[in-house]
Amino acid sequence: MSGFAIFIAVAGTIFIVSRVTGKNTRENKESIFMQMAQNLGLNYEPNKNFFSYRPVLTGQLEGLPIRIFEDSRSNDDTTEYYMNIHFENTAYRFGFEIRKERFLNKMARKLGIKDIEFDNKPLDDVYRFKAHFEEEFRALITPAIQEELLRIQHQFNGELHNVKGKMEYSVHMNITQVGSEQALMVVLEFMLRLMKLRK
């Protein structure tokens, strides 16, 4: 067999393996999204073609329009997947942000650059808070909400933003990995709890 023929054979094998692997991953992901749609009473939209599968769940939870979807972000030769929860028409008309503390945030704090803190060291060590209207945000993050944030700290690994009445959560996640779906649902429940405080 010539070198070119060997190259073609190897390339063909890699393509077949990748397609089979991709098909299995897609089927697994499809099953997870369909189950989530059933559990939450949402509509399932497959949005798939030969090259990609980007499922979307839409509908209402607690009377609020919601969209749950996956997107991908490419950087050079790598592709990362993110899960997103978007709520429309929330009662909060001021912007705020909740995310995990990162190393650079901690360094900035040591230099005297601070975000909103709650005199709750375990909470302040884990999360970073920002808001356009600090007093309103402090009223939102009650001691009970602070306790809830500490309880879900291992599931809350993304960023939660509220901008112009839209509450959005985005997290770097492969939904097919064990525990990912459960972590996403924990954050979804937390978001719903936040919005019920303003009803």
The position carrying tokens 């490419």 is 74
Least confident of 4-8, 85-89, 140-144, 146-150: 4-8
pLDDT tens sequence across 56-82: 999 999 888 999 999 887 777 788 899
- In this prediction the pTM is 0.81
Least confident of 13-27, 30-44, 176-190: 13-27
What are the structure tokens assigned to 41, written together? 């009473």
Give CA angle at 170 (131, 30), nearest 5°.
Answer: 160
pLDDT tens sequence across 127-158: 999 999 999 999 999 999 999 999 999 999 99
Residue of 189 and 102 predicted with greater confidence? 189
